[in-house]
A = this chain, B = another copy of it.
Amino acid sequence: MGLPIRKSKVEPRPTCPLSEVLRLLRGAWAHNVVWSLSGEPRRFGELRHDLPKISARVLSARLRELETRGLVTRRVLHTSPPSAEYALTPLGRELLPAIDALASVGRKLIAEWETLGQQRPAG
C-alpha cells in the first residue's frame, strides 16, 4: 500500500492574491517598468531609455495593463511635440517593498552560485 495522502497545511491562503500580483509582474518587463517609475514620473521615451531592449509595443502594453489595474497613472503633457508622463499610484508604490524583498533573495541566490563556484544555470 502506498502512503496516505497528507492533507496540505496550505490553507485558504493568499494563493489567489499572490497569483493576481504575479500575473501583473509576469513577463520579462513589467517589474522593470515599475522599478523605473519608483523615482520621479517618467515619459514614454525615458522609459525606453531606461530599458534599452524593450520594444515600444511591449512597453505600451505593460503600461496599459498597469494603468488599467490602477497601479500607474498617465498624464499627457501639452508640449511640442506632445508627450506623456507616467507615475506610480500610491497603490503601485506598495509594490516597491515587495519587489525589494524579492531582489534581496535574488542577491543571495546569486551569491550562493558564486560561493559554490558554479555557473548560473542557463535560462
Which chain A residues have a beta carbon within 8 Å of chain B's beta carbons? 1-3, 5-6, 8-10, 13-28, 31-32, 35-36, 38-40, 42-43, 45-46, 49-50, 68-71, 77, 79-81, 83, 91, 94-95, 97-110, 112, 120-121, 123
Contacts and interface: CB of A to CB of B under 8 A. Distances in A.
B104 A98 contact: yes
Contact of A19 (B2, B43, B95, B106): B106
Given A14-B100, A98-B101, A42 B106 contact: no
B5 A110 contact: no
Tell me the dominant secondary structure on chain A's binding face. Answer: helix
**Copies of this chain in the oligomer:** 2
B83 A23 contact: no
B105 A98 contact: yes
B106 A20 contact: yes
Given A32-B15, A42-B8, A81 B2 contact: yes
